[in-house]
Structure formats: C-alpha cells, structure tokens
Chain A
C-alpha cells in the first residue's frame, strides 16, 4: 500500500499513541518513517523526539529525521514531496471547538492543500488491537478509481469491507425507489470488483450529508479505518464548511485515510 510515510512530531504527543501508531503501520506493511520536527533549535528538539525514534526503531521501522523552520502546514507538504513520502500521517489529538476556531487545525489544512494522501491516526478504542474492518464511503465519482487500488491492496490487513453511499433523497417516493435501485446496483458492482480481496463485504445505501453520515455509520459498524476520497470540485457549501473528507477526519471515531484526486 505505502512504503514510506512522513510523521510530523512536535514532542508532546503521547508515547503510548505513537506505539499504537507503529503497530498500525506494521499491520499496513509500512517499512520507513520520516519524522519531521519543525523547530528552530535542533539540539533541543532532538531530545524531545528521541523517545519516538527509539519506539519506532524497536518496532523495526527504518527511521529518518528531518528538522525544518517555518509555517508548519507548508513545511509538512514540502517535506513530503522532497523526502518522497507516499503518505503524511498525524497522531490525532482532539481539540475542543474553541481551540479549533482560535488556533485552527494543521491536519485539516494539510488535507485541504496536500496532493499526497493523508492518514489521521486515532487510537483504536477496542480492547483487541487487531484491525480488520475497512470502511469505504463512495459517491461513485472519478476518485473511486484512485481509491480502489488502495482498498484491494489492503486485503492483507483487512478482511471485512463496508461500502456505503450517502446520497440526497429524491423528491418523491417513486423516484426515490428508482434512485435506491440504481445506487444498489452500483454498490454491487463495486462489491464485485473487491470480492476476491475480502472475506466479507457489506453494502449500504443511506440518505443524508456525507460529513454526518460517514462518522455515524463507521462507528455503528465498528470500523478500524475509513478510506475516503477528497473531491476538489465540491459544492459552495464545502467551500464554507470544508470538504466532507476534512469533516470526517475530525469527527470520526477511528483512523481516516484521505486520498486526494491528483
């Protein structure tokens, strides 16, 4: 799926979470981690990030460390390109609404601006650390062709796939019935294209805004990872509130992998 990932580290992230993150990356068969620290004083920050280096090394990752100065969002995106990382990762820490409004969210900015896939890691709440349920929300758009290879490749990690479509309800019951039939047909096609990669695939059609429906259903079906495409041509609604992918990354209970259209 991915070989090399970039992980921005400030030094205050939980070591326990970093360890769980390492386990998750191991499950995804990832080999190499580039740790990025954005701090003008290299010597001070080395002390701060050395515990993370040793955790990842213990987990058999090839660890590389980079120090940069400047605006965090642009440095993360720039370093991902220069270090040839295939995935930008964030160790998720929930901020309350006020903090989010005042200080903003670097992960959200990176999701919005980056052309590299972004992974938001959230510690699994399950007692068992085994991850096996992949959640794929689709709108049957072009981006699906970018996401499908990742889903099929992930068969080694996940054995249960949930495909869901959340659409707009048609204006009348007759049209709605036809809409649901069409949606189910497309979901079945998607299911068929993944049928050899998973032991179980479930498909669902529901009504509502993707930004609300996806986190709710991902939790309901006890998913371990949501894989979602980012659509640059989203509506004016998204232009104000951010894309559905941004909202899902903030509101879901589990980790989220965001695939950009480029």
Chain B
C-alpha cells in the first residue's frame, strides 16, 4: 500500500477510529465537546446556513435555465448511463431514504404539537405551519445543496476528465494545489462527514426497524436485537456493494421505489383521500408563495429557538450529507445535460417527497384533528414508533407495518451500499471501481461505528460532530459555485466559440 496514494484513506480512518474510541470509552465527554461546538455553530451561524442554502437554490435554478444548461456532464456524444426510472429511484434512495420514512409522520406532528412561540399548539394555524415547514425542510433546498455538489463532481470528472473527488472541483480556483494539502484536506473532511453522517443515519434507521418489528412481531425492546438488525443489514449491503453499483444499488432502489409507490397508493386510497388532496394542494400553494420569506427568515424576534432547532439543524444536516449524496448522484448522472440534471433533481424527488408528506402527515393530522385521537403526543414521545401507530388506524395495519419495515431495511441497505461505494471511491483517489478490500473496510467500519455508539450512547454526539463538519462545507460549497461558474465561462468563451484562451 503506497502511503502517498492512500493518505486520505489513512488519515480519515485514524480520525474516525479516534472519535469512535472517544465515543465508546468516554461518551459523556464526547457529548459535552460535540454539544458545545454544535451549540456555538447553531447559535452563531444560523444566518449563514439560511443565506447559503438560498444562494444554492438560486444557483441551481440559474444552472437549469441559464446559459450553461446545454453543457453535458460527459462528452458531447455520451448518452445517460441509467434510465430515468433507475436514475430517479437511486437519487431518491440516496438523498432522502431512511430519513423520509423516519420523519414523514413524525415531523408534521412534532411541529403541530410544538410550533414556534407565536403559534398556538395543536391549532389549525399550527397544522398549516407544520405541513408547510415539513415541505420546506425536505423540499427544494436540500436538493439544491446536492445539485451544487454533485454537478461539480460530475462536470469535473466526466467532462473534464479529472478524478471524481471533491477536491477536483477546485482546479479553476487553486490549480495544482488540489493535489496537495488543501485538496487532501477537503477530501478528508468529506470522508469524515460521510462516515459520521451515514453511521448516525444507520443507527437511527436500525432503531426504527427495531420499533417496527416490536410493533408487528413483539420483538423485545433490547439493544442486542438492534445490533442483530445492523449485522443482518450489513451482510446484505456489503453483498450488494460487492456486486457493483450498476447492479446492486439499482435493483434495490427500483424495488424500493415500487414498494414506496404501493404504500403511497394504498395509504392514499384507504385513507382520507379528499382531505389528503386538500392538504397537498393548500400546502403546495402555501409553500410556493412563501418560499423566499421562509428561505431567509430566522424569526429573530419570536420563534428563533424553533428555527435554530429545526431549520438551521436541517440545513446543516443536508450540507453535511452533501459530499456523500453529491458523489453518489454524480456517479449515476453521467451523460445528462445540466438542464436535465438540475430540473430532474429539483423537481422529481421533491414532488415525491411532497406527496409522501401529504399522505402520511396529512393522514396523521386527520386522525389528530378530525378523529380526536392524540397521535401527536406519541410522535413527540417516540418518533421511531409513530409511523407504525398510524398504520393501526388503517386496514391491513400489520401488512403495512411489514411493508414499512421492508422499505426501511432496503433504504438502509441502499444508503449504506451507496456510502460504502462513495467512501471507497473517495479514499482510492477517485477510482470508479474501488478495490473490494476498501469497500469491505468502509462497510464494516460504518456499521461498527453505528453499533458501538448505539451501545455507548454516543450516537447523538457523532451526529453533532458531522453537523459541525457542515460549517466548513458551506464555505466549500459556496466556493464550488464560483469554481463552476469560472469553468463554465471558460468552456463557453474559449471552447465553444473561437476565442483564444489568453
């Protein structure tokens, strides 16, 4: 193993294991340390997250409609590698996946029960607010963040022939320094954010699968069963990862989208259909009409605490998640034009997310408001169980819970599978066919991190650490926008026209 070629792998593995060691042996100290950093960032940098994320959204729209829209993410004659259905399925699985299942019911109910100070809890206004902000947190903005990152990687690797690494995107700005310490630092930071992001997500996902199995099959609520779930899923995602990206993840993602659509369709038909449609239409109108004001409103005079703990947290989380999703989305988007890519990412997964929230969140609010059943308190008390509680109000509740557990498990596998591939690629100098040994080592590491911290209670601390990594990444993403504009300008000015590059 050449040390120089594996510097990113070695440094990131050391950082990961050191922090996991802290999380295992002194979880309370890691928690205090990460809480302080996290609190400081959320308290002082909230405005930067809101402003930056809004800039990314405007930038994504500009790319989709501006002068660069016809540039291909690949050579001019290349065709897209995956079909639309395969592409969208994988985008959705990597970008949202477990999180959406986890929060689809829990988030609207949480906002409904605990809205900002200026709204009355459990009021009609709180319900409208809850739906609008659920759309907001899972809507255009996260995908705009992903667009910036993935477009950068796809453009510089497929069109410009560079290595598919985040550092490659900065060649127009820092030139050959991307091969030195500045470039390596960016890549190590990306690995760090990905490992910790995916590990916390897997830990939370395993907890929810466990809750589902407890609800359906009465599985005892003991930690050893959660660990068993992680072990089983790890086996499957490593198997999937070894079979290769085009086979494993694609098959699983397509299967998952089909399960998701079946679940959505059933819930829509069996649930309060017209109520759901009313919720969808009204929330969509509300969301679109107040998109700009929501994007830039921190509510400094009232409701600031709420904004910090939800909106700022989400924005930091999406940004921390962006290296992983960005690299993965880039790797499946070869051959698409910028217009196709940006519109595809902004509209299709967002619409699916809105439908999901309207059906699940809308149905939960119907039960709460129209049927007078207090499901919101369950959501606040235990977010991992509320989806299964909702199914109890539907026919074939147990079947739906099994389907949801299946969905969660497959999302778990696809996310971990994609993360394994991305981590192996990032630590193999951007090799699109990373060695199996690296895939195995990252696959096992992330499951080990999730398990160890689930046992020691350091999962929350780890999540905070990955959010802390989002702060430098915000700056990296902003610089990436500048770098992309420079590269696109160069291409339009000197390569598409006959100007000389003087």
Cβ of B22 within 8 Å of any chain A Cβ, yes or no, is: no
Contacting residue for B175 out of A139, A182, A207, CB 8 A: A207
* CB closest chain-A residue, reference B495: A175
Cβ of B161 within 8 Å of any chain A Cβ, yes or no, is: yes
Are B162 and A169 in contact, CB atoms less than 8 angstroms apart? no
A166-212 residues at the B interface, CB under 8 angstroms: 167-176, 179, 182-183, 186, 207
Of the listed residues A139, A165, A179, the one surrounded by the most CB atoms of chain B closer than 10 A to its CB is A179
Contacting residue for A169 out of B156, B161, B172, B500, CB 8 A: B172
Cβ of B487 within 8 Å of any chain A Cβ, yes or no, is: yes
- Per the bound structure, the CA–CA distance linking A140 and B160 in Å amounts to 25
Given contacts A169-B171, A172-B162, contact A138 B502 (CB under 8 A): yes
Contacting residue for A175 out of B160, B176, B486, CB 8 A: B160
Are B502 and A165 in contact, CB atoms less than 8 angstroms apart? yes
- Per the bound structure, the CA–CA distance linking A169 and B487 in Å amounts to 9
- Per the bound structure, the CA–CA distance linking A207 and B176 in Å amounts to 12
Q: How far is the CB of B151 from chain A (nearest CB, A)?
A: 13
* CB closest chain-A residue, reference B175: A169
Cβ of B76 within 8 Å of any chain A Cβ, yes or no, is: no
Assign chain A's interface to a size class: 20 to 34
- Per the bound structure, the CA–CA distance linking A165 and B502 in Å amounts to 7
* Chain A hits for B43, CB < 8 A: none
Q: How far is the CB of B321 from chain A (nearest CB, A)?
A: 26
Residue-wise interface mask of B (491-502) relative to A, using a CB-CB cutoff of 8 A (1 in contact, 0 not): 100110000111
Are A182 and B176 in contact, CB atoms less than 8 angstroms apart? no
Are A170 and B501 in contact, CB atoms less than 8 angstroms apart? yes
A130-181 residues at the B interface, CB under 8 angstroms: 138-141, 165, 167-176, 179
Given contacts A171-B172, A175-B160, contact A139 B487 (CB under 8 A): no
- Per the bound structure, the CA–CA distance linking A168 and B176 in Å amounts to 14
Q: How far is the CB of B333 from chain A (nearest CB, A)?
A: 18
Are A171 and B500 in contact, CB atoms less than 8 angstroms apart? no
Q: How far is the CB of A210 from chain B (nearest CB, A)?
A: 10
Assign chain B's interface to a size class: 10 to 19
Of the listed residues B161, B486, B494, the one surrounded by the most CB atoms of chain A closer than 10 A to its CB is B494
* Chain B hits for A170, CB < 8 A: 172, 490, 494, 501
* CB closest chain-A residue, reference B174: A169
* Chain A hits for B486, CB < 8 A: 168-169, 171
B451-502 residues at the A interface, CB under 8 angstroms: 486-487, 489-491, 494-495, 500-502
* Chain A hits for B495, CB < 8 A: 175
* Chain B hits for A167, CB < 8 A: 501-502
B157-194 residues at the A interface, CB under 8 angstroms: 160-162, 171-172, 175-176
Q: How far is the CB of A209 from chain B (nearest CB, A)?
A: 11
Are A183 and B501 in contact, CB atoms less than 8 angstroms apart? yes
Residue-wise interface mask of A (22-55) relative to B, using a CB-CB cutoff of 8 A (1 in contact, 0 not): 0000000000000000000000000000000000
* Chain B hits for A169, CB < 8 A: 171-172, 175, 486, 490
- Per the bound structure, the CA–CA distance linking A141 and B160 in Å amounts to 27
Residue-wise interface mask of A (114-139) relative to B, using a CB-CB cutoff of 8 A (1 in contact, 0 not): 00000000000000000000000011
Q: How far is the CB of A185 from chain B (nearest CB, A)?
A: 10
Q: How far is the CB of B173 from chain A (nearest CB, A)?
A: 8
Are A168 and B501 in contact, CB atoms less than 8 angstroms apart? yes
- Per the bound structure, the CA–CA distance linking A209 and B500 in Å amounts to 16
Q: How far is the CB of B155 from chain A (nearest CB, A)?
A: 8
Are A172 and B171 in contact, CB atoms less than 8 angstroms apart? yes
Are B502 and A172 in contact, CB atoms less than 8 angstroms apart? no
- Per the bound structure, the CA–CA distance linking A139 and B499 in Å amounts to 11
- Per the bound structure, the CA–CA distance linking A171 and B501 in Å amounts to 12
Given contacts A172-B171, A174-B161, A176-B175, contact A186 B501 (CB under 8 A): no
* Chain A hits for B491, CB < 8 A: 171
* Chain B hits for A138, CB < 8 A: 502
* CB closest chain-B residue, reference A167: B502
Residue-wise interface mask of B (224-250) relative to A, using a CB-CB cutoff of 8 A (1 in contact, 0 not): 000000000000000000000000000
- Per the bound structure, the CA–CA distance linking A207 and B490 in Å amounts to 13
* Chain B hits for A174, CB < 8 A: 160-161
Q: How far is the CB of A177 from chain B (nearest CB, A)?
A: 11
Given contacts A140-B500, A179-B501, contact A168 B490 (CB under 8 A): yes
Contacting residue for A183 out of B156, B161, B171, B502, CB 8 A: B502
Contacting residue for A171 out of B171, B176, B502, CB 8 A: B171
Contacting residue for A186 out of B162, B490, B502, CB 8 A: B502
Are A139 and B172 in contact, CB atoms less than 8 angstroms apart? no
* Chain A hits for B175, CB < 8 A: 169, 176, 207
- Per the bound structure, the CA–CA distance linking A140 and B498 in Å amounts to 13
Are A173 and B502 in contact, CB atoms less than 8 angstroms apart? no
Q: How far is the CB of A34 from chain B (nearest CB, A)?
A: 37
* Chain B hits for A165, CB < 8 A: 502
User: Can you list 28 A-B contacts (CB < 8 A)?
Assistant: A141-B502, A165-B502, A167-B501, A167-B502, A168-B172, A168-B486, A168-B489, A169-B171, A169-B172, A169-B490, A170-B172, A170-B490, A170-B494, A170-B501, A171-B156, A171-B171, A171-B172, A171-B487, A171-B491, A172-B160, A172-B162, A173-B171, A174-B160, A175-B495, A179-B501, A182-B500, A182-B501, A186-B500
Could you list which residues of chain B lie within 8 angstroms of chain A, going by C-beta atoms?
156, 160-162, 171-172, 175-176, 486-487, 489-491, 494-495, 500-502
Could you list which residues of chain A lie within 8 angstroms of chain B, going by C-beta atoms?
138-141, 165, 167-176, 179, 182-183, 186, 207
